[in-house]
Chains A and B, each alone.
Chain A
Amino acid sequence: MKQRYFSTFQLILLALFSALVIVAKIALRTPLQMSGHSGIFWMAIIIVGARVVPKLGASSIIGVTSGLLASFLGLGDFGALNTFLSYAMVGISSDLMLWILHGNTDNAVIAVIVGIFGHLGKFLTKWLFGIITGAPIGFVALGLLRAFLSYVIFGALGGLLGWLTLQALKRAGFFAYLAEKR
């Protein structure tokens, strides 16, 4: 019998991470009034998910699944398609960067870089949507640069938070437990 790429157990874990992204989006709040600040939480979850299920495509599955959930829950200001693609691109661009770096998020530098690019995937989706739909030019000159930098910073912080969470999970013996379950 042909072995499946993701086991059922792994798919369940990825679905749980997807749900966690949505819970984080709805429940966790920061007092920061900057675009993309919620990336701290969901990039951390993606980074952890990509290590718990260390296969290419794991982040994409988290992104696509959370995108579907977010669309059906009516999250976001720019419609369901925009919401779905934004979430999906977070996962897809994280996977793309993991593939380019040939590494895993156990490494702090890689976790930060993956966090940045995953979050930039969301920024680029929103920006492209604006261009395609003919949205008016930004009111504030260099507003895009500010938003870009904001996404980079919060993506990096999310990557770092994810890496710290992984270290804590490792110390707690989570990966040894997971190896037994497999």
Chain B
Amino acid sequence: MDQKKRILLAGAIMIVILGIVLGVDFLQRQQAAAQAPADMPPGSIPIFVDGGFVASFVPDDLSQLPAASFVDAEEGKTQDGWLLCDVLLFYLGEDNLQDQSQVTVSSSTREKSKTLTWAEVENKENNVLFDLAGRGTLKLVSTIPGFDIRDSWIQDVDKIEITSP
């Protein structure tokens, strides 16, 4: 086989890999759509207030949220996305949120969760935001001392819960 054919073969392999990745993603979305309620589209993050489902954080609304970012001290990487306070204010409004309200962001697959008060979330200096990870899932990051390193951050977020005092 000459070099030209080998290069074409490499191109074909790349297209096959892309096809497999997108095909599996499409199938996963189809399966999730069949199981999920209409108000919880696949990939969305459900928001619960005092145990009751209120809304789903969906990508369609991202254009209405201001972008935010910070450079993490651990690896010097820029974490950018959308502030959790902007997301909650967009879907819930200020009436559902008081300074002492507990905001819990969790990932069922990673079995991790983090609970913060609304006052902590609302303080923009804390940079509590959702960063879009490379594989397309959301990661909760911040600069709050003790919640400012990778081990403590919540990857693959799939639920937001608010409990009132």
Q: B-contacting residues of A (Cβ < 8 Å)?
A: 26, 29, 33, 35-36, 74-78, 97, 100-103, 109, 113, 116-117, 120, 123-124, 126-127, 130-131, 133-141, 143-145, 147-148, 152
Contact = CB atoms under 8 A, between A and B. Distances in A.
Contact of B80 (A29, A33, A109, A140): A33
A137 B21 contact: no
B25 interface: yes
Contacts of B109: 133-136
Interface of B: 3, 6-7, 9-10, 13-14, 17-18, 21-22, 24-25, 28-29, 32, 42-45, 59, 62, 69, 75-76, 78, 80, 107, 109-110, 132-139, 150-151, 153, 155-158
B76 A140 contact: no
Contacts of A76: 150
Contact of A97 (B10, B29, B76, B134): B10
B2 to A, nearest CB: 10
B9 A137 contact: no
A103 B9 CA distance: 14
A4 to B, nearest CB: 29
A58 B155 CA distance: 34
A138 B24 CA distance: 12
Contacts of B17: 120, 124
8 contacts: A97-B10, A102-B3, A116-B14, A135-B109, A136-B107, A140-B62, A141-B43, A144-B22
A100 B42 CA distance: 39
Contact of A77 (B42, B59, B76, B153): B153
Contacts of B22: 144-145
A144 B135 contact: yes
